[in-house]
Structure 1
Amino acid sequence: MKKILKNTLIIILIISILGILYFLSKWNRINIDKNIGKSKEIKNLNSKVFDHTFLIFNTVKVKTDFEISENVSDTVTFNFNAGKSPKSKNLDFLTFNSGDGFAGVNINVLKYKNFFYTSAETYTDVKRTFDFLESERYQIKKQKLTLNKSEFKKGDSIFGKIELQIKFNPTNEIINSKGYFRSKIE
């Protein structure tokens, strides 16, 4: 009986360690650039405008020029929000959202101390029976995040740049996305 219990605990421990290692392998270190808030790219956000079909955002001030596909115009479709976790002072949420109220895409960045993890999710109000069997349309392959500092409090200004390599699953196309952003931590 003791041998069975011992072997079971060893298997559980090995599975737990492998799970933790897999989870930590998805997290990257944040780059810090204290002068990014004064950069030309951040100042250029003042000259950008929202696409008129995306004016459902709660602000008319452009907070990011992030786009999944390359955008050469001054029109943006994504908005940016940053917030603190109410339960952990070291956990921040950065969200890039593009949608028309019925369908869209969210790029979610989970920041813990000096590390971050990025995920992508699509949403729609058209639900089908077996939607849960389909994989996400976007999969993050590589990620890089640069911020003006590593620790934030509520009300602090946040400036940064995000660079992502995204796989578009329906066509297996690899898209290089990047953008600058600014906001206040909510």
Structure 2
Amino acid sequence: MKKFFKILGVILGIFIVIIFFSYQFFFTKINFDKNIKDDQRIKNLDKKVFWNFGFEQINKPKKISTDFTIDGKPNDTINFTFHAYQSEKYRNIGQFQVHFSTGYNGINIFLYRLKNKFRTEIDEFSDNVVENENKKRYKIISEKLTLDKENYKKNDSVFGILEIQFEDLVNNSKTNSISYFRAKME
């Protein structure tokens, strides 16, 4: 029995080391800037117009939450929304989502926050289902997230900037994107 617990302890130790190194290598440090809410680009969100492909009443946000742009080409017309979610049990775990949808297809950019680090995943979706189409289309090359503070509670305001460079594995192209955002923590 003593040998069993010794082996179990070694396995548990290896598991903890693997999780620690995964956290260190697969998550990126978040930058914090308490003054980011005063950035003019965030204030300019009030001047932007949300366009939902002519379906103005469907999924139209009350307030513009992001001006996500690709290749740094700013636009006054917005198609993306931003959502912030916080774990009810653990204040160090959260998720941010930049979302775009035509009603038939779209893209989700998920940011998984764990304490003061984050990980980005880009997911494309469509109502055109193709069998065995499980491959990831986008590969994250670099990512930078700046938030206004480290800890949030439900209904707190969230302000930040997200910068992502990613590769489209289908078209073999690299793209730079940036998002200035604000939201209420859900």
TM-score (norm 1): 0.85
In 2, the alpha carbon distance for the partners of 1:169 and 1:86 equals 36
Aligned counterpart in structure 2 of residue 70 of structure 1, from 66, 69, 72: 72
Q: CA deviation at 1:178?
A: 0.7
In 2, the alpha carbon distance for the partners of 1:20 and 1:113 equals 13
In 1, the alpha carbon distance for the partners of 2:144 and 2:127 equals 31
In 1, the alpha carbon distance for the partners of 2:77 and 2:15 equals 48
In 2, the alpha carbon distance for the partners of 1:76 and 1:62 equals 8
> Aligned residue pairs: how many?
182
| Contact 1:50–1:60, Cα closer than 8 Å, also in 2 | no
**Which has the larger displacement, 121-130 or 156-165?**
121-130
Cα 1:42/1:20, change in 2 over 3 Å: same
Which consecutive unaligned segments of at least 5 residues does structure 2 have? 1-5
Q: CA deviation at 1:18?
A: 4.9
| Contact 2:166–2:176, Cα closer than 8 Å, also in 1 | yes
Query: For residue 44 of structure 1, what is the amino acid of its counterpart?
Result: N
In 2, the alpha carbon distance for the partners of 1:51 and 1:166 equals 25
Query: For residue 73 of structure 1, what is the amino acid of its counterpart?
Result: N
Alignment of 1:138 with 2:138, yes or no, is yes
Q: CA deviation at 1:58?
A: 4.4
| Contact 2:100–2:108, Cα closer than 8 Å, also in 1 | yes
Q: CA deviation at 1:155?
A: 0.9
Q: CA deviation at 1:140?
A: 1.3
Aligned Cα root-mean-square deviation (Å): 2.6
Per the alignment, residue 130 of structure 2 pairs with 128
Q: Render the CA deviation track for 1:80-116: whole Å, top value 9, x for unaligned.
A: 0111123422111100001112211000011122111
